[in-house]
Amino acid sequence: MSPIPPPLSSPDDCARELLEVVPPVMRVIRAEMRSHTAPELSVPQFRVLSYLNRNAGGSLSEVADHIGLTRPAMSVLIDGLVNRKLVTRETDPGDRRRLTLTLTRAGQSLYAAARQHTQARLAARLQTLSPAERAALVASLEQLRGLFLPEEAAMAAAKE
């Protein structure tokens, strides 16, 4: 019989587990979300919709930084989304040099449908866990939210 490994408790153990578990979880989430969007919607376009769903009125620069594209490449990508009537691009009344980007109703609808589909698919996978295991997972995710979302908010505020 093999010995039971000790529970992971050090910050390094936790970080190692996050680095092992989060990327495959994100791959599944992205694959599920893409499987429910229009086939002509590229992964970067879908990521823009996702970002703008959380950050309405974001600038071209903010979206480009988040997605990892140059501003000229992002401008071309946004042109395509504007032409498809998924995103609006308007001049910021407070700063005429800044363009704000917002999802249209069609963009919101496309994103919401993909998210709802993905949530249902994830729920089906999580059904195999016991109620106690799901409660423990939710508690852990809430702890992660407290650790990482304030940092994301602070990074966004620093860019303004």
Q: What is the pLDDT of residue 107?
A: 95
Residue 81's nearest CA partner among 92, 94, 98, 58 is 58
Which residue's structure tokens are 């498809």? 84
Other CB atoms within 10 Å distance of the CB of residue 99: 16
Q: What number of H helices and E strands is found in the chain?
A: 6, 3
Other CB atoms within 10 Å distance of the CB of residue 138: 11
36 vs 156, which has greater pLDDT?
36
For 109-124, letters b (16+ CB in 10 Å) and e give: ebbeebbeebeebeee
Contact 91, 99 (CB under 8 A): yes
**Which DSSP helix (H) or strand (E) runs through 109?**
helix 105-126
Hey, where are the domains in the chain? 31-128, 130-160
- pLDDT (average), residues 16-39: 86
Report the DSSP pairing between strands 87-92 and 58-59: unpaired
Contact 9, 86 (CB under 8 A): no
Greatest alpha-carbon span in the chain: 70
Task: For 58-84, write each residue's pLDDT tens digit.
Answer: 999 999 999 999 999 999 999 999 999
Residue 152 binned pLDDT confidence (cut-offs 50, 70, 90): low
What CATH number should be reported for the domain whose range is 31-128? 1.10.10.10
Other CB atoms within 10 Å distance of the CB of residue 12: 9
Residue 133 binned pLDDT confidence (cut-offs 50, 70, 90): very high
